[in-house]
Amino acid sequence: MSASLYKHPKHHVAVDCIIFGYEDDDLKLLLSQRRFQPALGEWSLMGGWVQDDETVEKAAERVLYQITGLKDIYLEQVHVFSNPDRDPGGRVISVVFYAMIRIDKHDKDLVKEHGAVWWTFSEKPDLIFDHELMVKYAHEKLKLRASYSLIGEKLLPERFTILQLRTLYEAIFQRQFDPGNFRKKILSLKVIEKLDDKNTTDSKKGAFYYRFKKYPEEFIQERIVKQ
């Protein structure tokens, strides 16, 4: 990198990631126990430092790759947290992202190696510093995203039933959806397609599997959930 023309204060810049997953009919969060001071041993979000030659997005991708072994993860900027005292270890400006992970695809050993654990969203432990607030912001952003377009492709397995999709939405919004109305709404979007075989473990009758279309007819989706 070329030398900077600017003479101004410089800052540590970090990324912190709220990593969402979906397993056993519940929304999950990947958290880790700090391995350095301050707050050693306490639960926190996965984070990392922004290097000289990378964007904040690249830094987040790097952190996610290190912990899950996955590339091309869905990421969205949430907010910047920059209170000078937010980290007792020094002044750190943190750019927060949320990510969506296919739990069935990630590297479980790598996660274990890092002392990270998937927590059920509603049962997660208290987090250090301002990480609680970060999670709150990320959850709001996830709800907004999920209300405007159908999410699930980044969280559910390749093949899933409409019940699974609905359960995901119920976990995200922490409320019930009418089974019939949900089905009709989702199918009207024409972004998922029915497969030939059925899942028979969750119901006696058996429910058809669906998958996300590779090239949905309508790229611009409508609103899904009224908030």
Partner DNA sequence: ACAAAAGTGTTTCGGCTACACCCATGC
Partner DNA sequence: GCATGGGTGTAGCCGAAACACTTTTGT
Residues that bind its own copies (CB under 8 A): 1-6, 8-13, 37-38, 49-57, 77, 79-80, 82-84, 89-93, 95
**CB 186, min distance to DNA, A:** 10
Binding at 208: pick from DNA, its own copies, none (beta carbon under 5-8 Å per type):
DNA
- Exactly one of 12, 41, 206, 213 binds DNA (CB under 7 A); which one? 206
In the chain, the amino acid numbered 74 is: Y
Cis peptide before 38 (omega within 30 of 0): yes
Binding at 51: pick from DNA, its own copies, none (beta carbon under 5-8 Å per type):
its own copies
Instruction: Scan residues 68-127 and list those touching DNA (CB under 7 A).
Output: none
Catalytic residue (one of 42, 57, 61, 113): 113
- Exactly one of 83, 122, 208, 213 binds DNA (CB under 7 A); which one? 208
180 binds DNA (CB under 7 A): yes
**CB 158, min distance to its own copies, A:** 32
Cβ contacts of 184-190, under 8 Å, gap ≥ 24: 185/224, 186/150, 186/162, 186/224, 189/150, 189/216, 189/218, 189/221, 189/222, 189/224, 190/216, 190/217, 190/218
Instruction: Scan residues 5-44 and list those touching DNA (CB under 7 A).
Output: none
Tokens 């990631």 sit on residue: 17
Q: Are 101 and 21 in contact (CB under 8 A)?
A: yes
76 carries an active-site annotation: no
Binding at 3: pick from its own copies, DNA, none (beta carbon under 5-8 Å per type):
its own copies
The pattern of x and - marking residues 139 through 178 that bind DNA according to CB under 7 A reads ----------------------xxx--------------x
Q: CB-based contacts of 188: which residues, under 8 Å, 6+ apart?
A: none
Cα gap 169→194, rounded to integer Å: 19
CA distances from 80 to 57, 90, 93, 134, 154 (A): 13, 16, 7, 9, 24
181 binds DNA (CB under 7 A): yes
CA distances from 151 to 110, 142, 143, 202, 216 (A): 26, 9, 10, 22, 14
**CB 202, min distance to DNA, A:** 6
Q: Which residues are catalytic?
A: 113
User: Which residues in this chain contact DNA in the complex, by CB under 7 A?
Assistant: 161-163, 178-181, 183-185, 198, 200, 202-208, 222-223, 226
